[in-house]
Amino acid sequence: MRTFADFLRDAAKYGTLGAAALHWQAKQDGFSEDEHIARMRSRLQVMRDSAKAGLSPNLRSVSGMVGGQAALMNAPEQLGRFGLLGKAGAYALSIAEYNACMGKIVAAPTAGSCGILPGALLAAQEQDGFSDDELIMALFAAAGVGRIIALQATVSGAEGGCQAECGAAAAMAASALVQLYGGTPEMASHACAFALMNMLGLVCDPVQGLVEVPCVYRNVGGVSQALSAAQMALSGIASPIPSDEMILAMKQVGDMLPACLRETGEGGCAACRSVCGK
């Protein structure tokens, strides 16, 4: 399973992207599907724990640049204004801040983009009552999408810019959301393409070389892109560009990015006078 076309073929056989990914994984390493489900359940718990811990108003990173800000987004008046998006953004930020404060997170697919996928799924569960079992299968769908992006392109900011980290995470979350809300595998593929399309070209420019600014805020932006992409796909809008082509386009753009915009801390936000000390 190296392409989205392969993934869709398997999903047609097993019913969903999540079921196809679970079957593929069990076949590859010899562990049973039940064992893999148990492992994913433990990862879901880590995601939930990090989302909760990251909401502490007293949280601060060693640098002092981030921490305690997710608590502001999680205030009742803020959540009331923005609904699912508000809750997803608060969770995405809380997990990203918790990572910056050396908390235990699940890289999904990377530490720098760790808040996007769980932020989307945990917020959807809280709002619409999905079970843990449904979230676990959505996580398998996301894992399959992440594997395909990693094989055809990259999920490394140093190699392909933040489009490869937060962009890939948004694509994973968008596809997972489509499955969670009952969309078809084809709709999930369109959601993946939309997410990548809308985050194409995003650079990797960590201030002071830390996974803090702008990284934690891009998790909030990434989860909003995931929700938008899923909404378009679930509405019946088809991406004019297939997912596999969008993945290759992301790789080509990443290859074109200069070194100063690929995690070296030399350009973009990292070069702004107010934060770089120049």
Nearest to 116 by CA among 155, 160, 58, 64: 155
d(CA 133, CA 17): 15
Q: Is the pLDDT at 1 greater than 90, yes or no?
A: no
Instruction: Please report the pLDDT score of residue 168 as a whole number.
Output: 98
Q: Quick one: CA torsion of 179, 183, 188, 191, rounded to 10 degrees? A: -110
Q: Do the beta carbons of residue 37 and residue 22 sit within 8 Å?
A: yes
Average pLDDT over every residue of 212-218: 98
Task: Enumerate residues 6+ apart whose C-beta is below 8 A from 90.
Answer: 55, 70, 73, 74, 78, 79, 119, 123
d(CA 268, CA 278): 14
Range of the domain at 200: 4-276
What mean pLDDT value characterizes the chain? 97
What CATH number is given to the structural domain containing 155? 1.10.4100
d(CA 63, CA 216): 14
- The share of the chain scoring above pLDDT 70, in percent, equals 99
Sort 2 into a burial class: Cβ within 10 Å, 0-12 / 13-18 / 19+: exposed
Average pLDDT over every residue of 11-33: 97
pTM of the model: 0.98
d(CA 99, CA 95): 6
Sort 26 into a burial class: Cβ within 10 Å, 0-12 / 13-18 / 19+: middle
Q: Do the beta carbons of residue 88 and residue 47 sit within 8 Å?
A: no
Structure tokens at 110: 């990377």
Q: Is the pLDDT at 87 greater than 70, yes or no?
A: yes
Q: How far is CA 78 from the centre of its chain?
A: 22
Average pLDDT over every residue of 222-248: 98
Q: Do the beta carbons of residue 67 and residue 99 sit within 8 Å?
A: no
Q: Do the beta carbons of residue 261 and residue 214 sit within 8 Å?
A: no
Average pLDDT over every residue of 24-30: 94
Q: Could you read off the pLDDT of 145-156 as tens digits, one per residue?
A: 999 999 999 999
d(CA 209, CA 159): 15
Instruction: Please report the pLDDT score of residue 278 as a whole number.
Output: 54
Q: Could you read off the pLDDT of 104-123 as tens digits, one per residue?
A: 999 999 999 999 999 999 99
Structure tokens at 242: 């297939």
Q: How far is CA 265 from the centre of its chain?
A: 22
d(CA 163, CA 155): 8
Quickly state the pLDDT bin for 277 (edges 50, 70, 90). low
Number of domain units in the chain: 1
Q: Is the pLDDT at 254 greater than 90, yes or no?
A: yes
Q: How far is CA 199 from the centre of its chain?
A: 12
- The share of the chain scoring above pLDDT 90, in percent, equals 97
Average pLDDT over every residue of 118-136: 98
Quickly state the pLDDT bin for 263 (edges 50, 70, 90). very high
Q: Could you read off the pLDDT of 187-202 as tens digits, one per residue?
A: 999 999 999 999 999 9
- Tell me the sheet residues that pair with 262: 204
